[in-house]
């Protein structure tokens, strides 16, 4: 592999554009070039070609603007690569559920506390146990709250996190610290199937399985003091990180609309290189219906994370025997990393309305952007990037460069480097509990198999991922935190 100007993984040629940026030139049916952010260190993880092929496939979609982009945590997904970003012209482009994924509005929220790790270190096992018993996790888990009525569910789908706050889960001010205030407008529950609605009734307040988790972390390093102060961070502070999405309701909505898109792709005579990229013009009735159904699922995810956060606060209060005021359980921010959003961006010097698909990528708006909370206007939008469960996670902020180069987007996580089967094989010789304890993490989980697939060796080093985006000027590191407790499905 040449390190100079071009490199090839089999037949795919990469041209180096800048130190951290590689381009796949237009070829075949590609309407725009592909662009991948990767350091020299991360580049070998692309060698299998599958994820690069997916970047090229996305570049073939009608109305794509600028580049088919991939963040440094790129890995092989289905349809879009995970870590993929694509903006489609609102008037002439398409929307694809494959660019959002089954877990619509899968995302992360970060909560700060007033606690200092060394003061509560001994109570971490009890905290983890309390969190594990009050927040259902694992395959098919049912809600932390009783089954809701269909009427309540419809309200939840319209109001998102606001519904949860109205039901007593969290505080009104939490809503300021979520993308879109915790509810996408235009949600229409009439577009969801009975099956999707049925699946949603019992899963509010559940983590799920796979890579979803709730983590207690401690602030290990602060890179930018001013930003950290504004975000309420201090050294050795205890934080809570929640990673989950729209659960069965979102998965079912994706499945239902893939069928709609399969028909629409034929109806509008759209040529696609992978059936999972089935799509429709954004402005078509099918496109508008998908946006309204997707908004329902996105709102479900915000309500889900809101309920989980509230349950976590109660568990902390119970175990530590302190007041809410002493605990200071405040939401720093909540981001989506599987979503399509209609946004305004400047393209070739002109403002343009686009549908930005972020599939395993996070919005990273710059300082002074009107869509970020007033309290953060001077520093930019917080971006939450979880790593693997044994190393560390990062808090970043967005930049103006992100607006110019990536439609205001950055990475979303570490990115897998090996298949689940390989991970399980390697994990076979490892005592998971001992290994997590060796790393200073108290872990409670439902399934050993999931843990085996999610061990740190399965992932890239997230530090290399966020460093790439820092050097490229796309997002800036504010703090790093290390897990001390984790619950998983």
Chain residues that interact with other proteins, rule: CB under 8 A: 48, 50-51, 75-79, 82, 98, 101-103, 138-141, 195, 198-199, 208-210, 248, 251-252, 254-255, 258, 262, 274-276, 278, 416-422, 446-447, 449-450, 453, 489
CB of 56 to other proteins, least distance (A): 14
| Closer CB to other proteins, 22 or 445, in the complex | 445
**Residue 417 phi, psi (nearest 5):** -115, -10
Residue 447 burial by CB count (10 A; 0-12/13-18/19+): exposed, middle or buried? middle
Alpha carbon distance 481, 110 (integer Å)? 11
CB of 322 to other proteins, least distance (A): 31
Alpha carbon distance 209, 136 (integer Å)? 10
- Residue carrying the six token digits 């999610």: 454
CB of 87 to other proteins, least distance (A): 22
CB of 489 to other proteins, least distance (A): 7
Question: In this structure, are residues 341 and 408 in contact, taking their beta carbons and an 8 Å threshold?
Answer: no
| Closer CB to other proteins, 183 or 196, in the complex | 196
Question: In this structure, are residues 315 and 129 in contact, taking their beta carbons and an 8 Å threshold?
Answer: no
User: b/e map of 38-55 (b: 16 or more CB within 10 Å)?
Assistant: bbeebbebbeeeebbbbb
| Closer CB to other proteins, 21 or 451, in the complex | 451
Looking only at the bridges linking them, the beta strands covering 34-37 and 64-75 are parallel
* Distance, CA of 124 to chain centre: 26
Catalytic residue status for 412: yes
Looking only at the bridges linking them, the beta strands covering 21-24 and 34-37 are antiparallel
- Residue carrying the six token digits 């109806």: 267
| Closer CB to other proteins, 380 or 489, in the complex | 489
* Distance, CA of 380 to chain centre: 18
Q: Which one from 212, 337, 357, 412 is the annotated catalytic residue?
A: 412
| Closer CB to other proteins, 66 or 84, in the complex | 84
CB of 450 to other proteins, least distance (A): 6
Alpha carbon distance 386, 64 (integer Å)? 29
Catalytic residues: 412
């Amino acid at each position: 592999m040449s390190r100079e100007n071009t490199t090839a993984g089999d037949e795919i040629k990469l041209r180096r554009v800048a130190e951290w940026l590689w381009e796949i030139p237009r070829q075949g049916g590609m309407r725009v070039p592909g662009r991948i952010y990767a350091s020299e260190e991360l580049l070998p993880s692309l060698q299998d070609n599958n994820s690069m092929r997916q970047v090229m496939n996305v570049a073939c979609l009608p109305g794509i603007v600028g580049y088919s982009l991939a963040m440094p945590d790129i890995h092989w997904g289905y349809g879009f690569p995970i870590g993929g970003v694509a903006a489609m012209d609102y008037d002439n482009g398409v929307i694809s559920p494959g660019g959002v994924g089954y877990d619509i509005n899968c995302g992360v929220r970060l909560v700060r506390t007033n606690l200092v790790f060394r003061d509560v270190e001994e109570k971490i096992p009890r905290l983890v146990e309390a969190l594990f018993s009050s927040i259902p996790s694992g395959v098919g888990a049912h809600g932390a709250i009783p089954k809701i009525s269909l009427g309540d569910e419809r309200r939840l789908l319209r109001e998102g996190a606001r519904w949860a706050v109205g039901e007593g889960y969290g505080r009104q001010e939490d809503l300021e610290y979520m993308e879109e205030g915790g509810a996408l407008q235009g949600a229409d529950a009439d577009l969801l199937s009975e099956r999707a609605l049925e699946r949603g009734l019992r899963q509010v307040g559940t983590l799920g399985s796979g890579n979803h988790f709730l983590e207690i972390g401690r602030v290990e390093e602060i890179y930018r003091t001013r930003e950290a102060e504004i975000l309420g961070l201090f050294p050795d502070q205890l934080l809570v990180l929640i990673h989950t999405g729209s659960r069965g309701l979102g998965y079912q909505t994706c499945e239902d609309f893939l069928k709609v898109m399969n028909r629409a792709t034929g109806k509008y005579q759209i040529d696609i290189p992978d059936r999972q990229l089935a799509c429709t013009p954004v402005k078509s009735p099918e496109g508008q219906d998908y946006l309204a159904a997707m908004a329902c699922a996105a709102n479900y995810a915000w309500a889900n994370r809101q309920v989980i956060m509230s349950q976590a606060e109660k568990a902390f209060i119970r175990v530590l025997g302190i007041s809410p005021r002493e605990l200071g359980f405040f939401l720093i921010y909540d981001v989506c990393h599987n979503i399509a959003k209609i946004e305004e961006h400047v393209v070739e010097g002109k403002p343009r309305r686009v549908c930005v698909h972020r599939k395993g990528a996070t919005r990273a708006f710059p300082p002074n952007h009107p869509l970020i909370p007033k309290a953060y206007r001077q520093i930019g939008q917080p971006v939450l990037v979880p790593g693997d469960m044994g190393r560390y996670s990062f808090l970043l902020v967005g930049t103006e460069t992100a607006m110019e180069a990536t439609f205001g987007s950055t990475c979303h996580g570490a990115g897998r480097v090996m298949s689940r089967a390989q991970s399980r094989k390697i994990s076979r010789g490892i005592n998971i509990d001992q290994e997590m304890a060796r790393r200073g993490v108290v872990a409670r989980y439902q399934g050993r198999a999931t843990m085996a697939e999610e061990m740190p060796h399965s992932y890239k080093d997230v530090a290399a991922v966020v460093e790439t985006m820092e050097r490229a000027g796309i997002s800036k590191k504010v703090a790093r935190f290390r897990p001390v407790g984790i619950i998983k499905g």
